[in-house]
Structure 1
Amino acid sequence: MKKLILTTAALALSAGLAMAETVRMGTEGAYPPYNFINDAGEIDGFERELGDEMCKRAGLTCEWVKNDWDSIIPNLVSGNYDTIIAGMSITAERDEVIDFTQNYQPPAASAYVAAAEGADVTGGVVAAQTATIQAGHVAESGATLVEFATPEETIAAVRNGEADAVLADRDYLAPLVEESNGELVFVGDPVPLGGGVGMGLRESDGELRGKFDAAITSMKEDGSLNELLIKWFGEDTRTY
């Protein structure tokens, strides 16, 4: 799934989590089905359910913190929360600034969506969310990139004709296409990007990363992670 082109590098905090009573889980809250705000105003979605189970297995007390995507890594490094669990694809560029657990979602394709068949995704105008691996791909593809702060704005740009297409995680786009009654369609070929989705942590928090890695491993081994993937992304999603 997702993403980030870092515009600046930041140094990790020298002091780690070190026996903190509560682990603060940072997420965007705007990228369903990974994470979103439900009708009760609470963080919900695949990563909320997954994160709560991981915390339970790791013996940690966790609380959830919402943060905008474009500042999600700087605010982790600054100590505003202790993890990023926000549909973030594992990339070498991000790994230079933060650390990652193993992936909890296998590498999955990104996809183009347009308002009509035949949209030009290599020479036209393509929308993507700011600071994502999709934005980086569009910038190098020959298309004209238009960036937006939120995924909702990228879809709106296609609907209002500001962009010929949008590139995003297919798992995010699929329900929007299905619910659009033909107003949105997949175009072009799938685009494999990233090394799967993982949890981001400060490089100084190796002990905490180890606890979450162990929780992810146990969920892979007992099949519960596959159950969550199918629940939130459907029977056709990639599993372990």
Structure 2
Amino acid sequence: MKKLILAASALALTAGLAHAQTVRLGTEGAYPPYNFIDDSGEVAGFERDLGDELCVRAALDCVWVKNDWDSIIPNLVSGNYDAVLAGMAINEERQRVIQFSQNYIPPASSAYAALSEDVDLESGIIAAQTGTIQASHAAEIGATVLEFASPDETLAAVRNGQADAVLADKDYLVPHVAESNGELVWIGEDINLDEGIGVGLRQSDNDLKDKFDEAITSMKEDGSLNELLGKWFGEDARLF
């Protein structure tokens, strides 16, 4: 009888897995600590841990797909993957093209870093990653904007003199400024440009949005999302 029960349990588990919805998660893999590629060539970081847990809670069979940032929304819309977890801030411009889950990181601050505190932000040359809210903001205030495909290139542009300052998510810049031994300094005031960070989805995928929303809510309620935020962003993490 015991063998029959075990066999039946295994069959039920196999059947459940067979019917799990397969969801492809797109990420950049170049934006630590949100997402990066580890030494074994796998997606890692806060969003890898988060995405894997969301998929367990939503009973989804998830696989990860790496995609460059500058085409991450077009390739979502065209069906190369089904959702984006890539440090993508929720804002009005993006919501004209895609929809978002509820946020899994509270609204973030953007910040400027430079080699000198004397940079004039409005007339200077500002480095920002292509297709970001920071690039749009720098253009709106009248600065000359140099856009780069990756965030690391924006910092390199400041260090090699191509740009006067970089504007990016403060969470991304904090370790770089801290580890620069005073070479990079904060300038100006922090800016709030978004409604937090969420899972990006096609506008037609309402059922998938509901599943992610439910899973994110459960992680907020049981404290596990705050634990992940603390793990990856340290004692200064923005918590729910």
Q: TM-score, normalised by structure 1?
A: 0.90
Instruction: State the superposition RMSD in angstroms.
Output: 1.1
Structure 2 counterpart of 1:37, one-letter code:
I
Deviation at residue 21 of structure 1 after TM alignment: 3.3
* C-alpha separation in 2, matches of 1:102 and 1:26: 17
Alignment gaps of 5+ in structure 2: 1-18
What corresponds to 1:152 in structure 2?
A: 152
What corresponds to 1:165 in structure 2?
A: 165
Which structure is richer in relative contact order (CA contacts within 8 A, separation 6 or more)? 1
The higher radius of gyration belongs to 2
Offset from partner CA, 1:176-234 (integer Å, 9 cap, x none): 11111111111111011111000011111111110110000000000110111111111
What corresponds to 1:40 in structure 2?
A: 40
SS of residue in 2 equivalent to 1:233? helix
* C-alpha separation in 1, matches of 2:47 and 2:106: 14
What corresponds to 2:191 in structure 1?
A: 191
SS of residue in 2 equivalent to 1:230? helix
* C-alpha separation in 2, matches of 1:20 and 1:115: 51
Is 1:210 paired with 2:187? no
What corresponds to 2:227 in structure 1?
A: 227
Alignment gaps of 5+ in structure 1: 1-18
Q: Aligned residues, how many?
A: 222
Structure 2 counterpart of 1:97, one-letter code:
V
What corresponds to 2:101 in structure 1?
A: 101
* C-alpha separation in 1, matches of 2:101 and 2:29: 20
* C-alpha separation in 1, matches of 2:54 and 2:120: 42
Offset from partner CA, 1:49-93 (integer Å, 9 cap, x none): 000000010011100000001110110011100001100001111
* C-alpha separation in 1, matches of 2:137 and 2:88: 15
Which structure shows the bigger proportion of residues in helix conformation? 2
* C-alpha separation in 2, matches of 1:229 and 1:119: 33
SS of residue in 1 equivalent to 2:235? coil
* C-alpha separation in 2, matches of 1:148 and 1:97: 22
SS of residue in 2 equivalent to 1:235? helix
* C-alpha separation in 1, matches of 2:106 and 2:142: 28
Deviation at residue 20 of structure 1 after TM alignment: 7.1
Q: TM-score, normalised by structure 2?
A: 0.90
* C-alpha separation in 1, matches of 2:119 and 2:93: 30
SS of residue in 1 equivalent to 2:120? coil
* C-alpha separation in 1, matches of 2:233 and 2:21: 33
Structure 1 stretches (4+) deviating beyond 4 angstroms?
none
Aligned 8 A contact 2:220 2:226 in 1: yes
* C-alpha separation in 2, matches of 1:82 and 1:100: 12
* C-alpha separation in 2, matches of 1:96 and 1:122: 28
Structure 2 counterpart of 1:71, one-letter code:
S
* C-alpha separation in 2, matches of 1:168 and 1:179: 17
SS of residue in 1 equivalent to 2:72? helix
